[in-house]
Structure 1
Amino acid sequence: MTESVPGSLPRAVLWDMDGTLVDTEPYWIDTEFEIAQRHGGTWSHAHALNLVGNDLLESGRYIREHMGIEPSAEQIVEELLDGVVARVEDSVPWRPGARAILEELSAAGTPCALVTMSYQRFVAPILAQLPPETFRVIVTGDIVEFGKPHPEPYLTAAAALGLKPGECLAVEDSNTGAKSAESAGCLVLVVENHVPVLAGERRVFADTLEGIDLGAIWADYHR
């Protein structure tokens, strides 16, 4: 394994899912309000945005506390997943340019990993719409000990690909995810969606994935 040199391409691209590849955040938020109504709790859009990019079990704890409801964090996570899985099975809201760039990377032989805090049963119906082997590695929130913003998810993905994090470009849409990837040692391409993301030493920003040249972004940073 060698470190990347100026002008070279990333050895792999590590993708966040919710808000980055698919715009499922509204699905999560709608389900959160349903849970509040079902259990007699209170919720707000501001609380919902605080959860963007978070580990699911941590989100369950936050929901239990701030909604003021009785179910355990684990039960809340299962109710969340029930709601969003049903919505995704009905329609997957791809972000502009997402599928096209995945196809381009596949054609170029650039390996991709999916690094998401969603659980496998939510990821499965989304992956079913993509060609097999689109992602050589899949890291979900239910297989890591520490979720984002801890670096473990991105460290796990890079190691599974046989690469160092510094050889990989991560693509994220949230502060939580960007912190995870940056802390692991990745360069992070941030495409903001529902929440603003802070600037960082290893963060570069783009408005959209449509027509984007990841190789140029990588080369510009390492120039």
Structure 2
Amino acid sequence: MTSTVPASLPLTAGGAALQAVFLDMDGTLVDTEGFWWDAEVAVFADLGHRLKEEWRDVVVGGPMARSAGYLIEATGADISLAELSVLLNDKFEERIDRGVPLMPGAERLLAELARHNVPTALVSASHRRIIDRVLDSLGPHRFTLSVAGDEVERTKPHPDPYLLAARGIGAEPVRCAVIEDTATGVASAEAAGCRVVAVPSVAPIQPAAGRIVVQSLEEVDLLFLRTLITSPR
């Protein structure tokens, strides 16, 4: 899959205040945040370094360049950012090829959004090669479009990925609901002007104006998301 964001797509949400739903991938839809940490631990072990568990919260949910760069600096590993990125993506692909488990409630929510013709976008800091492998498992037909971290000049926590998704669908960011599992992703969506549902996966996320924190996607349905858009900030 090479195309990501078409120039514009018609809205099909029946004129509801909610125009689109954007979903993060790792840790939000698929239970893979731990896969990334396992990949990082394995790659650095091969390089002769042991990662500290407390570094996990630092690298979770961030773009590859930030996470990999932090770990190079923290360990002093003799490897370039580009070389490490390739090794991490390779190791992660090996893991997801054995199966990609969905987060609780993800299957039901995706089915409900499709049933009501709500435009959806998969918006991830992961690279395109990784997103496409996961989409093969999830079913690319479930998403109107997808945005990868290596397809924007500035990825999360900057607003660019969510602004690009809104523009591709033809929606106003303020009428888009975003589901994220990390503080980095939440910051990106809120900077874009979207309303956010946070489902923390590894590190806690605090409630804030315009943001709701839930324990699981099992607490989220279409009515919940529509109410999020229509309620005061």
TM-score normalised by the chain length of structure 2: 0.88
Q: Is the counterpart of residue 105 in structure 1 residue 140 in structure 2?
A: no
Q: Structure 2 residue aligned with 1:168, among 142, 153, 176? A: 176
Question: In the alignment, which residue of structure 2 is the partner of 1:5?
Answer: none
Q: How many residues align?
A: 216
Q: Structure 1 residue aligned with 2:126, among 118, 126, 133? A: 118
Q: Structure 2 residue aligned with 1:134, among 142, 147, 154? A: 142
Cα separation, 2, equivalents of 1:141 and 1:99: 24
Question: In the alignment, which residue of structure 2 is the partner of 1:155?
Answer: 163
TM-score normalised by the chain length of structure 1: 0.92
Residues 8-19 of structure 1 mapped to structure 2, 5 A cutoff: 8-19=16-27
Q: Structure 2 residue aligned with 1:57, among 65, 85, 90? A: 65
Cα separation, 1, equivalents of 2:30 and 2:89: 16
RMSD: 1.4
Displacement after TM superposition at 1:13 (Å): 0.3
> Equivalent residue of 1:201, what SS?
coil
> Equivalent residue of 2:212, what SS?
strand
Cα separation, 1, equivalents of 2:25 and 2:140: 17
Percent identity over the alignment is 37
Displacement after TM superposition at 1:155 (Å): 0.6
Cα deviation code 1:22-74 (max 9, x no counterpart): 11111111111112211122311211221111011111211110121011111
Q: Structure 2 residue aligned with 1:71, among 65, 79, 101? A: 79
Question: In the alignment, which residue of structure 2 is the partner of 1:22?
Answer: 30
Q: Is the counterpart of residue 143 in structure 1 residue 151 in structure 2?
A: yes
Displacement after TM superposition at 1:222 (Å): 2.6
> Equivalent residue of 1:200, what SS?
coil
Q: Which runs of 5+ in 2 are unaligned?
A: 1-15
Cα deviation code 1:146-200 (max 9, x no counterpart): 1111111111111111111101000001100000000100000011111101322
Q: Does the aligned pair in 1 maintain the 2:22–2:178 contact within 8 Å?
A: yes
Displacement after TM superposition at 1:130 (Å): 3.0
